[in-house]
Homo-oligomer: A and B are copies of this chain.
């Protein structure tokens, strides 16, 4: 009874350099990473745009994972969105070397009719105006999750605020939450994001894990510990894909389900960063997901205090 997930985002080619290697025009993009991650758990309907240069073999691989590609438009004569970046020794942030929007510059997400009834939706990081356009094309989703980035917080704040007023769960990293609210204290910043509309906010903290905040309180998860991070690209999108994929798989988006979904997202993100492009995600099977999920649970367990004397 698993429901489908609608994902709208970039389908791109990435040129990435890390201390562990270098790739030229490998499969990437927020829509791709999140779809690939979500498709471990639920069928995915992807909306994106590609050029002539995007390999058919990659589309075939997505299709085999259960990603519906009816919404992915190939523009004849165009080139795919291309990002080039480099991670230094500490892997905590990328230096962007190149952003070539190419066909993505004219991206106007049109949902195939068959996508409109999607109950679970992930609006990956795209121009907030386009996120609004997608919201106008879906019937009555049960959970809508959005991502964003520092650039839109600064350059398209009004539209982003409209998006936030219409989604159920806003994903952002700690720096973005601080930037959006002008508040350095993260707990306070999260509360301020909630006051903008979403019922939930998930603050991603990179190697320090992630927190889910709602009016009921806080839930926090560490990262799944890895002795080597090979390429951090796509970690946040894999997290989002794992989160929304789990919710669709379970068919529930209660706070309890979202806590489990965060743990699935954490596991998918851990798989993503273990290798370049989609290779890390490919290597993670369902039984690996269960293993890591249970290790994560064990990693945060501690007993209640014994009763105080007297």
**Which of B186, B205, B250, B305 makes the CB contact (< 8 A) with A293?**
B305
Q: Which of A72-80, A97-105, A115-123, A255-263 lines the interface with chain B?
A: A255-263
Distance, CA A305 to CA B265, complexed state (A): 13
In the complex the two chains form, is B222's CB within 8 Å of A220's CB?
yes
In the complex the two chains form, is B303's CB within 8 Å of A290's CB?
no
Distance, CA A222 to CA B205, complexed state (A): 11
In the complex the two chains form, is B300's CB within 8 Å of A300's CB?
yes
Contact bitstring A32-75, B, C-beta under 8 A = 1, else 0: 00000000000000000000000000000000000000000000
* Interface band, chain A: 35 or more
Distance, CA A228 to CA B208, complexed state (A): 20
In the complex the two chains form, is A259's CB within 8 Å of B290's CB?
no
User: Nearest B residue to A290 by beta-carbon distance?
Assistant: B305
The interface residues of chain B lying within 8 Å CB-to-CB of A91 are 184-185
Contact bitstring A164-204, B, C-beta under 8 A = 1, else 0: 00000000000000100000111110010000000000000
User: Nearest B residue to A301 by beta-carbon distance?
Assistant: B259
**Which of B187, B229, B250, B300 makes the CB contact (< 8 A) with A221?**
B300
Distance, CA A95 to CA B293, complexed state (A): 40
Could you say how many copies of this chain the assembly holds? 2
In the complex the two chains form, is A262's CB within 8 Å of B302's CB?
yes
Nearest CB of chain B from residue A133's CB, rounded to whole Å: 34
Nearest CB of chain B from residue A94's CB, rounded to whole Å: 15
Q: Which of A4-12, A135-143, A147-155, A211-219 lines the interface with chain B?
A: A211-219
Nearest CB of chain B from residue A208's CB, rounded to whole Å: 4
- Among A81-108, those with CB < 8 Å from B are 89-91
A159 on the B face (CB < 8 A):
no
In the complex the two chains form, is A303's CB within 8 Å of B228's CB?
no
In the complex the two chains form, is A89's CB within 8 Å of B184's CB?
yes
A157 on the B face (CB < 8 A):
no
A209 on the B face (CB < 8 A):
yes
The interface residues of chain B lying within 8 Å CB-to-CB of A297 are 302, 304
A294 on the B face (CB < 8 A):
yes
A211-B222, A220-B209, A299-B220 known; A191 and B227 CB under 8 Å? yes
**Which of B184, B191, B256, B290 makes the CB contact (< 8 A) with A90?**
B184
User: Nearest B residue to A246 by beta-carbon distance?
Assistant: B305
User: Nearest B residue to A89 by beta-carbon distance?
Assistant: B184
- Among A242-299, those with CB < 8 Å from B are 250, 256, 259-260, 262-264, 286-287, 289-290, 293-295, 297-299
The interface residues of chain B lying within 8 Å CB-to-CB of A21 are none
Binding site for B on A (CB under 8 A): 89-91, 178, 184-188, 191, 205, 207-209, 211, 217-222, 225-229, 250, 256, 259-260, 262-264, 286-287, 289-290, 293-295, 297-306, 308
